Structure 1
Amino acid sequence: MHGEDHALFVSALALLSAAVISVPLARRLGFSPIVGYLLVGIAIGPVGLNVADPSVVSTVAELGVVMLLFLIGLELKPSRLLSMGRYIFGLGAAQLLLSGLAFALLAYFVFGFGVAAALVSGMALSVSGTAIALQLLNERNDLTSPYGQRTFSILLFQDIAVVPLLALVPLLAPGESTLAQDPMAALLRAGTAIVALAVIVVAGRYLLNPLFRVLARSGAREAMTAAALLVVLGAAGLMEAVGMSMALGAFLAGLLLSESTFRHELEANVDAFRGLLLAMFFMSVGMSLNVAVVVHNMGPLLIATLLVSLTKCAVVYSVFRNDNIPSPQSALAAVVLLPAGEFAFVLFPLGLSTGILKPDQADLLIAMAALTMIIGPLLFAAIARLLPRLAPAEPEPEADDFSDADGSVLVIGFGRFGQIVSQCLLAEGVSVTIIDNDVEMIQSAGRFGVHIYYGDGTRLDVLRAAGAESCKVICVCVDDKEDANRIVEVVKASMPGTELFVRSFDRIHSMELMRLGVDFEIRETLESALGFGGRTLQAMGVSAEAAGARVADVRARDRARLERQLEEGIFAPPEPQRPRKVEPEPLHIPEKPARPLNAEAQDILSHETEFSG
């Protein structure tokens, strides 16, 4: 084995060993795995055991952030992203500009930086670590919460802002810059970036789905995995080639594929690589920390880090509170966005190479950025534990919220199926409570005059908070059969007296639900297909009475066959359904307005009113 190959092998072995050791240890100590990765990065890097080469690791580790942004794009949809525009360009711009200005003033007046150095360092420190922030939000399942969505919007704006910030550095360099001498170069670069974005958009909308269909028919799973990686790395590489963020390119590719029928397949293929590469990224940050600089400048560095941390937390907290986010969630957002971003490790060396920053300034700024990456996850873990103890207990729901025990129904999932179920109940004057964790569905439910709870219906604490224990019937209308089964198991174990009516995905799922002992189950397409068949019979000349009798006979035969198959264990293959996007509206005028039952639902409905107004 050659020397370079041997060094690469040793680095890989050290990284894998560190990942295996650090995660269980960090979990046992109550810390985020990110802290473990950062600390073991220091331990195996140049200042520690020196068994891994930071330059080799950092090149590969950047792909972890790229794949993370691709997966986030897959989880979103263009329509939802458009609805977040107010957060992206409102909150995102406010956070970046206010933080950048505050840091620039600190650098200029407190630490004696020049104007250009203060501006560069201020903007670099105002950008937060996308990988760290999203990892922290995912650990608590907070990404879909109101504060989580705003946090993600700010991170997305920061990724977009990378392009003008990179262009700003040469303009601030001492003397005449090439960019300043040739304005056409700036226009050409902007035009190239626009063309690259257009290529990704066109490919995502018109080329990728046919490609994946061809690969799916071939049955070669390794080809699908290779295609998934090709899409991610191709989009990221194209953006980097035109001077934009690799992460932004991957996010756009994921966003354009979010409506694809192959979304789950892509997610499964990429996710396996994402976790390991993200771990490498965090360890590479730990390796890059210049411990000698930290030791020799311990006092000033700690003071500077404390000032930067307090300033950034204060700005973010103020921005979130101004948008009516409760204090506990605003505090969590402040520490989530506290760590400096991977962009800082690009901008500080660039500032050094252009003469804006001095070597000692660049070293201290890089060390400060790395320290915030360690402090942020630690503070997040501490605040997440402390807030529930300090927060006052939430008031109990008013007595009339769930007093109608004979008619109170909990509907979990307010998609196309749950909306029709709710229409029937509301028309009869039955009290209905909705649980959903989709912002668009919560906004739609606000028009129906129902009680609303934003949360994950598979969790027992959410069910109890929404009043499930006092409901006579729980209607499980979610479109994911695994989630439906999980809800059934939770309710059966904790609320055995409650009747369970469950939407079934297909025949196999119907049999699973029957085994679980639900009170009623029905396939989502059964009755609509029977009604369709009945009307078709009438179009063929069969009388309405005869057609109705025939449909009733088919329904009875189908049920008998289902029960026989359940006994014999004969399963039919599932047939995937693709929902159609419609704007839901109530069929009758609600007698009373919608009533949100938690702060998250209140926040979503209040902003829906703003958008519709």
Structure 2
Amino acid sequence: MDSFLYQASIYLAAAVIAVPIAARLGLGSVLGYLAAGIVIGPVFHLVGSEMEELRHFAEFGVVMMLFLIGLELEPRALWNMRHKLIGLGGLQVVLSTLVIMAAAIAAGQPFATAIAIGLALSLSSTAIVLQTLSEKGLMQTGGGRSAFSVLLTQDIAVIPILALLPLLAVGEIYGAINDDGSISLAIHEAAAEGHGHAASLVEGLPGWAVTLVTLGVIGLVILAGIYLTRPVFRFIHVAGLREMYTALALLIVVGISFLMTLVGLSPALGAFLAGVVLANSEFRHELESDLEPFKGLLLGLFFITVGAGINFTAFFADAADLIGLAVLVILVKGIVLYLLGRAFKLKGRDRWLFTLSLAQAGEFGFVLISFSTQQNVIPADVAEKLLLITALTMLITPLLFILYELISRRMSDAAGPKYKPDEIDEEGPVIIAGIGRFGQIVNRLVQASGFKTIVLDHDMQTIQLMRRFGFKGFLGDPTRPELLRAAGLQKARVLVVAMDDKDKATMLVAYARRQRPDLHIVARAYDRPHVFELYKAGANDIVREMFDSSLRAGRYVLENIGLSEYEASEAVQTFYAHDRGTVRQLAEVWDPNIPASENAAYIAKAKELEKELEAALLNRVYENDRKSA
């Protein structure tokens, strides 16, 4: 136990250093965890049974992740995915297996061994892919949803694969059917191998009894999720013990995983099923908030153990071939995935996301390869190389996501505008770039006051909606110089930058300031760092989109806790005037390359200005009291 805690503490300490660095470089947290494992593993020689113990503990993070994903899916949504689960996911497993199997046979492997290799390498990494999709906000895209469907199908496919592998044994045959007609399920043996030898509810039972027990356990999970969890949660809620929510959430996941292991089913699959059942529960968000920290920590530990588990002695002895084979696996799976993406009408970036996110081998590959070796299906020397290839493909996966981002950016730049820009044949004293909720109010106020505006927006639907309500606007990208010139940038008196895209808004302000040093620019800012960017780009008036509404809400608060309307209004005006000066002073010490929380000069100036604000507000109160006296 002491050794286990020592290993875990060393790994987590490495992660605290490596993960923020990887995130800062834009590489994602997964690559940081893998890098931490690679560095720490050889240094501390964490190999053998102790390493396996830590890995099995960390694998519970995958179980929690699937439970939380299940919470986000209603049963109806899962039913609507059936075509992708059976079609897209099923074809991916079958086709990838056949192609990799053919390559293994061509390399001289026996038929049974080739099948096992194909099955093991056809599965992708649920942990890495889902974590990265969530981090990068890609889960709800067409490519992200398709990738999730395939991953879910692969998790389900592990069950029949584990049952099939003993039948392929090339040495001592490990039959799935005993002489007396009972079944010794391979999946139970794999569960025992991976999670410790636990008692089984199905070992030695006839086939029909195994089926009944398995279906009974699944039904029990569903019924308990529907009828038992709500009363238990209500009981804990009445007790008022906040920590018991976390205890119950952990009990649900651990209990279901253990129950699934007893009948030879995947713990991750059981947890996913339980999550789907509880998706409509009023306590869903409570479960998510309680388990999210545990999931993140255990998943990080899992990624670290993958990196630490690489046998570098074996790797450096045959590095070129292993890297070549890992790249070959990614290419073969990538081609299959790309063709399936086309067949299922995934387009553009979605197809590339689907292809690149699933091209690696996964954590279930470790289980299948180890189990195949135990059953004499894959020779030990071949298995060692396969484990290294699997780990290498997982290490390459974060780089594939970076490649996707480069492709996506190029496709976005090459696509250009969806519609042909309008020919702008009018000029006006006010140009409004961006006509969303913010720009609409500005436009209505200025036009209603008798001034002409020239409205530019790149969204066709927004422009069409404006026209239906009698407001004229021009379709086009406001950042394009030719459109700005046509709209009368050289003669305009005011430019309003109200675009949603922060980077484009800053770029437009900088361009307009270079072209017209005398132009008055009013810009919408998303947050305070964006204010600083716009300030340095040359904007005259910068409006934070939530600032004025927040001030109004604060004024209502002051009026209802004892201040008069006049006093509350005076406090708001003082705060407003001070904040405008504060932003200008903070902009001088702001550095875009250093987070505000780590910029010592910025923090010191902010504290100083906050004390000045308190003094100004207290002085205002004192003056009001003196006048009223």
| TM-score range relative to shorter protein | 0.5 to 0.7
**Residue type of the alignment partner of 1:142:** L
Q: In the alignment, what sits opposite 2:95? A: 98
**Structure 1 residues 31 and 491: alpha-carbon distance in aligned structure 2, compared to 1, 3 A threshold:** closer
**Residue type of the alignment partner of 2:51:** P
Q: In the alignment, what sits opposite 2:168? A: 172
> How big is the shift at 1:285?
1.1
> Are 2:15 and 1:24 equivalent residues in the alignment?
no
Alignment of 1:315-330 (within 5 A): 315-330=336-351
Alignment of 1:271-282 (within 5 A): 271-282=292-303
**Residue type of the alignment partner of 2:227:** Y
Of residues 208, 221, 232, the one that matches 1:211 is 232
> How big is the shift at 1:355?
0.7
Find the residue that maps to 1:338 and give its secondary structure.
coil
Q: In the alignment, what sits opposite 1:380? A: 401
> Are 2:62 and 1:65 equivalent residues in the alignment?
yes
**Structure 1 residues 514 and 362: alpha-carbon distance in aligned structure 2, compared to 1, 3 A threshold:** same
> How big is the shift at 1:39?
2.4
The one-character-per-residue Cα deviations of 1:137-175 (angstroms, maximum 9, x if unpaired) are 112101011111111011111111111011001121235
Find the residue that maps to 1:195 and give its secondary structure.
helix
**Residue type of the alignment partner of 2:254:** L
**Structure 1 residues 366 and 259: alpha-carbon distance in aligned structure 2, compared to 1, 3 A threshold:** same
Q: In the alignment, what sits opposite 2:153? A: 157
**Structure 1 residues 230 and 301: alpha-carbon distance in aligned structure 2, compared to 1, 3 A threshold:** same
TM-score, normalising length: structure 1: 0.66
- Cα pair 1:32 1:381 within 8 Å, conserved: no
**Structure 1 residues 345 and 397: alpha-carbon distance in aligned structure 2, compared to 1, 3 A threshold:** same
Structure 2 spans left out of the alignment, 5+ residues: 184-206, 423-431, 439-463, 472-498, 506-524, 563-629
The one-character-per-residue Cα deviations of 1:174-228 (angstroms, maximum 9, x if unpaired) are 3553314455424433333222211111111111111111111111111110000
> How big is the shift at 1:298?
2.0
Q: In the alignment, what sits opposite 1:474? A: none
> How big is the shift at 1:399?
6.3
**Structure 1 residues 44 and 189: alpha-carbon distance in aligned structure 2, compared to 1, 3 A threshold:** farther
Find the residue that maps to 1:357 and give its secondary structure.
coil
- Cα pair 2:122 2:333 within 8 Å, conserved: yes
**Distance in 1, Cα, partners of 2:528 & 2:232:** 40
- Cα pair 1:66 1:246 within 8 Å, conserved: yes
- Cα pair 1:64 1:281 within 8 Å, conserved: yes
> Are 2:352 and 1:352 equivalent residues in the alignment?
no
Q: In the alignment, what sits opposite 2:85? A: 88
> How big is the shift at 1:565?
6.4
- Cα pair 2:143 2:349 within 8 Å, conserved: no
Of residues 93, 106, 113, the one that matches 2:109 is 113
- Cα pair 1:22 1:36 within 8 Å, conserved: yes
> How big is the shift at 1:397?
4.0
**Structure 1 residues 107 and 189: alpha-carbon distance in aligned structure 2, compared to 1, 3 A threshold:** farther
> How big is the shift at 1:338?
1.9
- Cα pair 1:58 1:281 within 8 Å, conserved: yes
- Cα pair 1:237 1:246 within 8 Å, conserved: yes
Of residues 43, 51, 54, the one that matches 1:54 is 51
> Are 2:500 and 1:460 equivalent residues in the alignment?
yes
**Distance in 2, Cα, partners of 1:208 & 1:462:** 45
The one-character-per-residue Cα deviations of 1:89-132 (angstroms, maximum 9, x if unpaired) are 111001111111111111111x2111111111101111110000
> How big is the shift at 1:464?
9.7
- Cα pair 1:488 1:516 within 8 Å, conserved: no
**Structure 1 residues 430 and 215: alpha-carbon distance in aligned structure 2, compared to 1, 3 A threshold:** farther
**Structure 1 residues 516 and 564: alpha-carbon distance in aligned structure 2, compared to 1, 3 A threshold:** closer
Alignment of 1:351-430 (within 5 A): 351-391=372-412, 392-397=414-419
> How big is the shift at 1:236?
1.6
Q: In the alignment, what sits opposite 1:39? A: 35
CA RMSD of aligned residues (A): 3.7
Alignment of 1:415-494 (within 5 A): 460-461=500-501
**Structure 1 residues 13 and 176: alpha-carbon distance in aligned structure 2, compared to 1, 3 A threshold:** closer
- Cα pair 2:141 2:350 within 8 Å, conserved: no
> How big is the shift at 1:286?
1.5
**Distance in 2, Cα, partners of 1:157 & 1:100:** 14
**Distance in 1, Cα, partners of 2:557 & 2:44:** 63
Q: In the alignment, what sits opposite 1:197? A: 218
**Structure 1 residues 49 and 80: alpha-carbon distance in aligned structure 2, compared to 1, 3 A threshold:** same
Find the residue that maps to 2:336 and give its secondary structure.
helix
Of residues 8, 22, 44, the one that matches 1:12 is 8
The one-character-per-residue Cα deviations of 1:238-271 (angstroms, maximum 9, x if unpaired) are 1122111111111111111111111111111000
**Residue type of the alignment partner of 1:49:** F
Aligned residues: 449
Q: In the alignment, what sits opposite 2:313? A: 292
**Structure 1 residues 302 and 395: alpha-carbon distance in aligned structure 2, compared to 1, 3 A threshold:** same
> How big is the shift at 1:49?
2.6
> How big is the shift at 1:361?
0.6
> How big is the shift at 1:490?
12
Of residues 289, 292, 295, the one that matches 1:268 is 289
Of residues 104, 126, 132, the one that matches 1:130 is 126
**Residue type of the alignment partner of 2:386:** L
**Distance in 2, Cα, partners of 1:430 & 1:240:** 62
**Distance in 2, Cα, partners of 1:305 & 1:333:** 19
- Cα pair 2:349 2:411 within 8 Å, conserved: no
- Cα pair 1:409 1:430 within 8 Å, conserved: no
The one-character-per-residue Cα deviations of 1:365-420 (angstroms, maximum 9, x if unpaired) are 000000000011112113313430354133244669xxxx9xx9879xxxxxxxxx
> How big is the shift at 1:488?
11
Q: In the alignment, what sits opposite 2:559? A: 567
**Distance in 2, Cα, partners of 1:357 & 1:241:** 27
**Structure 1 residues 462 and 156: alpha-carbon distance in aligned structure 2, compared to 1, 3 A threshold:** farther
The one-character-per-residue Cα deviations of 1:522-577 (angstroms, maximum 9, x if unpaired) are xxxxxxxxxxxxxxxxxxxxxxxxxxxxxxxxxxxxxxxx997672159xxxxxxx
Q: In the alignment, what sits opposite 1:527? A: none
**Structure 1 residues 259 and 357: alpha-carbon distance in aligned structure 2, compared to 1, 3 A threshold:** same
TM-score, normalising length: structure 2: 0.64
Name the % identity.
Answer: 37
**Residue type of the alignment partner of 2:224:** A
Alignment of 1:295-310 (within 5 A): 295-310=316-331
**Residue type of the alignment partner of 1:50:** H
**Structure 1 residues 249 and 431: alpha-carbon distance in aligned structure 2, compared to 1, 3 A threshold:** farther
- Cα pair 1:460 1:490 within 8 Å, conserved: no
**Structure 1 residues 246 and 263: alpha-carbon distance in aligned structure 2, compared to 1, 3 A threshold:** same
